[in-house]
Structure 1
Amino acid sequence: MPAINYNLKYISLTVLIIQTTSMVLALRYSRTVQEDGPKYLSSTAVVMAECFKILACLCLVCYQEGGGIPKLFEVINTEIIGRPWDSLKLAVPSGLYTVQNNLLFLALSNLDAATYQVTYQLKILTTAMFSVCMLSKQLNSYKWASLVTLMIGVALVQMPSESKEPEKPLTATNQFIGLVAVLCACFSSGFAGVYFEKILKGTKQSIWVRNIQLAFFGVLFGLMGVFVYDSTAVLSDGFLQGYSKTTWMVVSLQAFGGLVIAAVIKYADNILKGFATSLSIILSTTVSYYLLDDFTPTSFFFIGALLVIGATFCMEWNHQNRQQ
């Protein structure tokens, strides 16, 4: 059983890197390609991805239970409807992710891009801190050094190139609001991820049942976002306005990504997820340079990429030594 989990751990991490890279590239393409009519609304795409995730998990539960529809309804009634308090626990990470997205929007509105990118990477350390506090993980000096190096590397990789257009000056009040917002988002991200990990690893319930519960609340909070930000556009041109084959591909990849992340958290942890996501940032940015021609690498990118790769190898080397 440990050997199986070990294999699933690295398989899920590899799939996450591929999925995240594909998602980023498809998302960039979908937002830049010129098509007739209005562009699709990102808020509705989030809702549709959660709906796809529920459908996928229902199929997986049905297969897991032997392929019978009656058995599927029995599982839903017993594990979800029959345990409302247990299901309600998943509203916490789902709600926190929604709050986090709004905080990031507030931060971007009050900070320059460089400060935002650097500060937001603190989520790597907050995730590690919550893992130690809530899951009693043991992180030695090598792991902490790897995490700090990873944080610096990701910040450098995502450092924006010099803009030709001067940005509007930001007041001290703007900067204070932006910093508070991004710091709260870092703690929200870390807590939500570790909280979800604790639920997944502390229960005998199927990972797919847990994802149904999480996605259900994701749909509810997502619809609230549609109402707040895009209700006028939806009433004018419809919920699925601007959807194309590319849009549906983005939605499918996003839904698939949610399932992969859950598998990574189940069989690995949030810290390793952070390393996999960081590697996917470098990969997607590099591929974007060659295929989409919408990125110009800077010296910061190359230095940051080396730091991320070095931190990843250092973490894996430390893990292998502890296994021996």
Structure 2
Amino acid sequence: MQWYFVAALLTLLTSSQGILTTLSQSNGGYKYDYATVPFLAEVFKLLISSLLLWKECQSSSPPSMTTEWKSIRLFPIPSVIYLIHNNVQFATLTYVDTSTYQIMGNLKIVTTGILFRLFLRRKLSNLQWMAIILLTVGTTTSQVKSCGEASCESLFSAPVRGYMLGILSACLSALAGVYTEFLMKKNNDSLYWQNVQLYMFGAIFNMLRLLLDDFRVGFERGPWWERLVDGYSITTWLVVLNLGSTGLLVSWLMKYADNIVKVYSTSMAMLLTMVLSIFLFNFRPTLQLFLGIIICMMSLHMYFAPARMLIDLLPASKAPPEPLNEVAITKTDES
């Protein structure tokens, strides 16, 4: 399976997440506990990975599986980082409005590139760095609203603490992705075995989060397992299926591609969601959206196009000067 096919599928699934989540609402709200969706998605990923691992173990060549505790103990770390990241997200939204938060979220593109270079020792060319910066500019441009709207006035009016939390959120998101790629590529273990470890801890941490929510409200709604699927509809189950499938595709990209491919997939998914919203939710297209799409497509071409398709930015070498031919001059006396 080629990485670009997986990346395209990830883009389609990610772009439909927001749409499915919106369609799962009823009268502008959720009839179900939305905190149960990530938990069920983790359980779905764990079950699928366990099944694929079992089938792999039944083959003639058993997969490589590291069972030492010093290796397994590394897999809860991404779940801890994502848990901290989610809390920082909520804290950020208390200081900045939604539009500012979405625009600041594009910083994770640059922070991913920086951590990708520092921690994974992956060198990026100058052209690739230019492409990453262009991608950030393009996604940001597509999200900027016209200055006639009221939200434009609050774009840069948030307190400094809000911007600091936004930067921290971008760094945590990039750190979780880069660390996950490190786990996936640190040895030749089976992808499904690595997924089982990753999603097992993910399910445990999400379950602890549900239990903590029950403690905060004094179990007034009963324990979380008694209302796990209360209010679920077909659309809600599609959200769970979508979220779980997206996670499986991301782990494949972390194993066989890299974080930059994932960043491009999710960024293109955001643009695709905005375009689909024009037809599904009467979203009004803006000039900024079309400019952002053009800039992002330029960035995509710059980063992934073969070298022969890119303009040679190096100055052409000058040809050596041709040697001068000696010219014989005959001096004649004038009469």
Kindly tell me: are residues 263 and 161 of structure 1, through their superposed partners in 2, closer, same or farther at Cα, counting changes over 3 Å? Answer: farther
Q: Do the aligned partners of residues 320 and 105 (structure 1) sit closer, same or farther apart at CA in structure 2, a change above 3 Å counting?
A: farther
- Say yes or no: does 1:267 pair with 2:256: yes
Q: 1:118 to 1:292 in 2, by over 3 A?
A: closer
Conserved? CA contact 1:8–1:267, under 8 Å: no
Q: Which of the numbers 116, 119, 124 marks the counterpart of 2:104?
A: 119
Provide the rounded CA distance (Å) in 1 between the counterparts of 2:184 and 2:270.
Answer: 26
Report which stretch shifted further, 58-67 or 228-237: 228-237
Q: Does residue 1:304 correspond to 2:292, yes or no?
A: yes
Quote the offset at 1:62 in angstroms. Answer: 1.5
Q: Which amino acid aligns with 2:102?
A: Q
Say if 2:16 is the partner of 1:22.
yes
The answer to whether structure 1 residue 92 and structure 2 residue 84 are counterparts is no
Q: Which has the larger radius of gyration?
A: 2
C-alpha displacement of 1:83? 2.7
Which residue is equivalent to 1:253? Answer: 242
Which digits, 9 at most, give the CA deviation of each residue in 1:182-228, with x for residues without a partner?
A: 11111111111111111111211111111111111211221233234
Question: What is the aligned counterpart of 1:235 among 199, 209, 222?
Answer: 222
Offset at residue 128 of structure 1 (A): 0.7
Identity %: 27
Q: Give the counterpart letter for 1:275 in structure 2.
A: Y
Q: Secondary structure at the match of 1:110?
A: coil
Contact residue 110 and residue 170 of structure 1 kept, 8 A:
no
Choose which of 226, 238, 241 in structure 1 pairs with 2:210.
226
Q: CA deviation at 1:259?
A: 0.4
Q: Distance in 1 between matches of 2:199 and 2:302?
A: 35
Give the Cα separation in 2 of the matches to 1:193 and 1:12. Answer: 17
Q: Could you tell me which amino acid in structure 1 is paired with residue 20 of structure 2?
A: A
Residue-by-residue CA offset, 1:267-319 (whole Å, 9 max, x unaligned): 211011111111111112211221233x2222221111111111111112256
Equivalent residue, structure 1, for 2:68: 83
For the residues of structure 1 that align with 2:149 and 2:82, how far apart are their CA atoms? 34
2:97–2:154 CA contact under 8 A, matched in 1:
no
Aligned equivalents of 1:150, 1:320: Cα separation in 2? 22
Alpha-carbon separation, structure 2, partners of 1:170 and 1:291? 27
The answer for unaligned runs of 5 or more in structure 2 is: 311-335
- Residue 57 of structure 1 corresponds to 49
Once residues 163 and 40 of structure 2 are traced to their aligned partners in structure 1, the CA distance between those partners, rounded to angstroms, is 32
Asked if 2 retains the 8 angstrom alpha-carbon contact of 1:24 and 1:284, the reply is yes
- Asked if the contact 1:159/1:300 (under 8 Å) is kept, the reply is yes
Task: Judge which range, 18-27 or 223-232, deviates more.
Answer: 223-232
Q: List aligned pairs for 1:142-291, cutoff 5 A.
A: 142-160=127-145, 175-229=159-213, 232=217, 234-235=221-222, 238-291=227-280
Q: Secondary structure at the match of 2:285?
A: coil
1:102 aligns with 2:87: yes
> C-alpha separation between the residues in 1 aligned to 2:8 and 2:177?
19
**Structure 1 residues 221 and 168: alpha-carbon distance in aligned structure 2, compared to 1, 3 A threshold:** farther
**By how many angstroms is 1:152 displaced?**
1.3
Change (3 A) 1:149 1:169: closer
- Report the Cα offset of residue 158 of structure 1: 2.7
Question: Which has the larger helix fraction?
Answer: 1
Aligned partners of 1:99, 1:291: CA distance in 2, in Å?
34
Deviation per CA, 1:222-252: give whole Å up to 9, x if none.
Answer: 1233234466475288222211111111101
**What's the TM-score once normalised by structure 2's chain length?**
0.81
Conserved 8 A contact 2:17-2:239 = yes
In structure 2, the CA distance between the partners of 1:14 and 1:263, relative to structure 1 (3 Å rule), is: same
Whether the 8 Å CA contact 1:29–1:292 is kept in 2: the answer is no
Q: Equivalents in 2 of 1:101, 1:134: separation in Å?
A: 23
Cα RMSD, aligned residues only: 3.1
Deviation at 1:121, TM superposition (A): 1.0
Q: Distance in 1 between matches of 2:289 and 2:309?
A: 30
Confirm whether residue 13 of structure 1 aligns to residue 13 of structure 2. Answer: no
The AA in structure 2 aligned to 1:48 is: L
Letter in 2 for 1:29: L
Closer/same/farther in 2, CA of residues 170 and 304 from structure 1, 3 Å limit: closer
Alignment CA distance shift 1:128-1:286 (3 Å): same
2:126 aligned with 1:141, yes or no? yes
Taking structure 1 as the reference length, what is the TM-score of the superposition?
A: 0.84
> Matched residues in 2 for 1:320 and 1:127: separation?
27
User: 1:149 is matched by which residue type in structure 2?
Assistant: L
